[in-house]
Structure 1
Amino acid sequence: MDILLFLSITVITFLLMEGVTWCTHKFVMHGFLWYLHEDHHQPKYQGIFEKNDAFFVIFAIPSILLFYYGVAPELNFRFFIGLGILCYGIAYFLVHDVLIHQRFNWFKRTKSWYLRGLRKAHKIHHKHLGKAHGECFGMLWVPSKYFKEARLK
């Protein structure tokens, strides 16, 4: 395999993860695993970790397995699918936990219309404290109205 194919597999996987995340968030986190996600929708949570953080582990397992099976007997496409999932996980952490929820004191203020649009859409998502009536389940791509609003400010 050549480097262009490896890069393509990684980028395509990264992009597809937004759809996986949207579906998982809407149908799993706000569905049968709500008990793990519920504390994330409460106004203030106590401590460093939430039960919701278990989803980082849940999403990491396929990536780890793909890395493992992607190097034997030689480097193959599975490794790069795992890399795409890992890259999305890093982006998710930086956008969701750092920028939006500010669980760490990094990037407190941003002038980026894109990042402000993501933050606004996520705040709209969190206005619902229960699992029903949710909206804006995406993480890196949300309805365009939030980006338009962010550009006007």
Structure 2
Amino acid sequence: MNTLIWISIFIATFCFMEFMAWFTHKYVMHGFLWSLHKDHHHKDHSSWWERNDLFFVFYAVISMSCIMLHDPVTFWFGESIGFGILAYGIAYFLVHDIFIHQRFKLFRKANHWYAKGVRRAHKIHHKHLGKSKGECFGMLFVPFKYFKN
């Protein structure tokens, strides 16, 4: 496959995953699968693992399946889609789990305007403990109002 096409599909998939994260977060996690996402908002558990982490596992299985089912003739774009989903998953893990929620004590002193905006938007999202009245469901692309001081 042409390298430029592979890279284009990879980048398009990565960008589309931000929409999928927003959609899944707003309509699935805060909808019919709130029972899996609720522990992420309430923190009334002592385990490092949250039921909410099953969403990460779901997308990891999709990513691995695309990569493994890649076929140069019939599913030629599977590898670039799978790696695009994987790259978004890594970015999501770094931003959400490590930077924002500090599951690992890294990036604690990040003081960049983008870092502050993402952290501020997520804090606003978590101020609502219930599944309704939520706002700011995206992760990497958040509304400009959160970047203002």
| TM band (smaller chain) | over 0.9
Aligned residue type for 1:128: H
The aligned counterpart of 1:38 is 38
- Report the aligned-residue RMSD: 1.5
SS of structure 2 residue aligned to 1:105: coil
Cα offset, 1:107, TM superposition:
0.7
1:113 maps to what in 2? 113
Deviation by residue 1:56-89 (Cα, 9 ceiling, x = unmatched): 1111121111111114668821110011000000
Name the CA distance, whole Å, in 2 between partners of 1:75 and 1:131.
38
The alignment of Structure 1 onto Structure 2 pairs a total of residues equal to: 149
TM-score (norm 2): 0.95
Query: Unaligned 5+ residue runs, structure 1?
Result: none
For the pair 1:140 / 2:140, whether they are aligned, the reply is yes
Q: Match for 2:96: what amino acid? A: H
Task: Report the secondary structure of 1:40's partner residue.
Answer: helix
Alpha carbons of 1:99 and 1:42: their partners in 2 closer, same or farther (altered >3 Å)? same
Q: Is residue 54 of structure 1 aligned with residue 54 of structure 2?
A: yes
Superposed CA offset, 1:25-63 (max 9, x none):
000000010000000001454121111111111111211
1:65-104 to structure 2, matched below 5 A, reads 65-71=65-71, 76-104=76-104
What's the TM-score once normalised by structure 1's chain length?
0.92
Q: Give the CA deviation at 1:148.
A: 2.1
Q: Which runs of 5+ in 2 are unaligned?
A: none
Identity of aligned residues (%): 55
The answer for the alignment partner of 1:17 in structure 2 is: 17
Q: Find the counterpart in structure 1 of residue 63 from structure 2.
A: 63
